[in-house]
Amino acid sequence: MTKLTVVANIIANEDSIDFVKAELIKLIEVTRAEAGCINYDLHQDNENPAHFVFYENWQSREHLQTHLANSHIADYVAATEGRVELFTINEMTHIA
């Protein structure tokens, strides 16, 4: 089984930074308790406070897919609809 690293970039609308940040923080504890979650760490850019990054490691892609299908992710998406300018997920493999 190969560990999966995920980098998720979220750029909030300028007028929604605090709201989006609060919604992202709500995801941390519940996600860290999920099966297969190795780490789930939220970062905020020092130069652009609208830019958030989750750095995540999962035991497998299947664990990530289960995470993405959970209700707390759907709740986040619904709560932040129209408040996020950009959301990307990059699935990555550790090389060295």
Tens digits of per-residue pLDDT, 49-81?
Answer: 999 999 999 999 999 999 999 999 999 999 999
Task: Output the pLDDT for position 96.
Answer: 83
- Residue 40, beta-bridge partner list: 56
How many Cα atoms sit within 13 Å of 55 on the Cβ side? 5
Tell me the whole-structure pTM to 2 decimals: 0.94
Residue 1 has pLDDT above 80, yes or no: no
- Report DSSP state, residue 50: T
Residue holding tokens 């519940």?
30
Q: What percent of the chain has pLDDT over 90?
A: 94
Residue 32 vs residue 94, higher pLDDT: 32
Three-state SS string over 22-34 comes to HHHHHHHHHHHCC
